[in-house]
Amino acid sequence: MGNDLASTWEAMKAGRSGIDRIASMDTSAYTTHIAGEVKNFDAAPFFNNAKDCRRADRYVQLAVAAARMALQDSGLDVEAVDKDRVGVMVSSGIGGLGTLEEEHTKLIQRGPGRVSPFLIPMMIANISSGIISMEYGFGGPNMAIVTACATSNHSIGEAWRIIKFGDADAFLCGGGEASILPCGLAGFGNMKALSTRNDEPQKASRPFDVGRDGFVMGEGAGVLMIEELEHAKKRGATIYAELIGYGLSADAYHMTSPHPEGHGAARCMDMALRHGKINPEEVSYVNAHGTSTGLGDVCETKAIKRTFGDHAKNGLLVSSTKSMTGHLLGAAGGVEIAACLMAMKENIVPPTINLDEADPECDLDYVPHVAREAKVDVALSNSFGFGGHNASLLIKRFA
């Protein structure tokens, strides 16, 4: 879609798909040949030290790049703040799968002595948070939350809690993911989770459409700077929106399938609304988890109806930007809350592309095909992960 906020957002508004045939590996032996790869990405300029860049898994490189962009966009003067009150919570749903694959191949083919001493620190899912903190000397709360595809939203939500509790002034938070790899493609493919619409890559991710046949893998990173309000105002920060609510729940139902009636997802959205003291009819836009899977899209639709009642079909706009980006797994929420923020800033709701014929059980206004001008004062972003992990973020226009 793009390698920065501006280009990605322009592509979303244009309804342009970022899905194509996979160029980074030979897919001839796999059932799926398509994904949303980050193209023409050079990580080196985003690191203070070239050696650190070389010793970082691709997921970390993407996360570090997004964190630097977020920090620059925030205008925060790193040398003028108390670094011990700036935290980092940037994680990954899967971690350094590329590093693990590469070093495991060395182990099998060449013996244990050839395995890199950096295998462990390069592959663990918390190392992106650690490296980002080292890049800037941020000594505040530093951790990683791993909840599959809910990872970014949980990271942002828990950072919000820590700030509210008074233990930090600001956080870089979100997620990075890079799993378009042999093991990732085989694993998701063999569980029949991936689309096999290989002849039409740009039409393969089609949330809520009757012809959907699975999600399309994506890679990338989304990182936000969230900040205590008075701290932000004091330094004259540009404020995109106020984060007012965060919901989390468990389906307690199945390892990979959502609850068929969307009970956990609905409780999650309900909690976010309670935190924000917002009535359902005040929400303008929901950026849906909307992965393009048969069960997931129907269950989320049921959950939205349960939470929003009559408003779900009378004024609420819902769209899935995964129709364009594919599913970034643990990084999805970071990119999607950014889409909500830009929708609020420009009063333009990004579309759900490829929605040619809606599933009869998916009967909401999913903003098909074309972005729509609409006043967005309150927006909610959903992320749901394997294991039944649910996380919703609620933002409100700042006045």
CATH number 3.40.50.150 given to 242-396? no
Q: Give the per-residue pLDDT at 20.
A: 98
- Which residues carry out catalysis? 149, 289, 327
> Is residue 111 very low, low, confident or very high in pLDDT (cuts 50, 70, 90)?
very high
Task: Work out the average pLDDT over 54-82.
Answer: 97
Q: State both tokens at 85.
A: 């009150």
Q: State both tokens at 219.
A: 């890679």
Global confidence as pTM:
0.97
Q: Which residues of 105-136 are buried (b: 16+ CB within 10 A; e: fewer)?
A: eeeeeeeeeebeeebebbbbbbbbbbbbbebb
Which has the closest alpha carbon to 321: 334, 303, 305, 308?
A: 334
Task: Work out the average pLDDT over 99-126.
Answer: 97
Report CA dihedral (48, 53, 59, 60) to the nearest 10 degrees: -40
Tens digit of each residue's pLDDT (9 = 90 or more) over 229-246: 999 999 999 999 999 999
Q: What is the pLDDT of the chain when averaged over all its residues?
A: 97
Q: State both tokens at 261.
A: 């009636």
C-alpha distances in Å from residue 395, one per residue of 21, 117, 252, 326: 35, 43, 27, 23
Tally of CB atoms within 10 A around 359: 17
Task: Work out the average pLDDT over 21-34.
Answer: 98
Task: Work out the average pLDDT over 162-180.
Answer: 98
119 vs 117: CA distance, rounded Å: 6
Tens digit of each residue's pLDDT (9 = 90 or more) over 116-131: 999 999 999 999 999 9
> Is residue 215 very low, low, confident or very high in pLDDT (cuts 50, 70, 90)?
very high
Angle of helix 182-190 relative to helix 97-110, nearest 10 degrees, comes to: 110
Q: Give the per-residue pLDDT at 399.
A: 87
Positions of CATH 3.40.47.10 in the chain: 5-234, 242-396
User: DSSP states of 319-382 as a string?
Assistant: E-THHHH-B-GGGHHHHHHHHHHHHHHHTEEPPBTT-SSB-TT--S---BSS-EE---SEEEEE
Tens digit of each residue's pLDDT (9 = 90 or more) over 331-350: 999 999 999 999 999 999 99
Q: Is 227 helix (H, G, I), strand (E, B) or coil?
A: strand
Tens digit of each residue's pLDDT (9 = 90 or more) over 268-292: 999 999 999 999 999 999 999 999 9
> Is residue 178 very low, low, confident or very high in pLDDT (cuts 50, 70, 90)?
very high
Q: Is 172 helix (H, G, I), strand (E, B) or coil?
A: strand
**Residue 313 DSSP code:** G
Whether residue 294 is predicted with pLDDT greater than 90 in this model: the reply is: yes
CATH of domain 5-234: 3.40.47.10
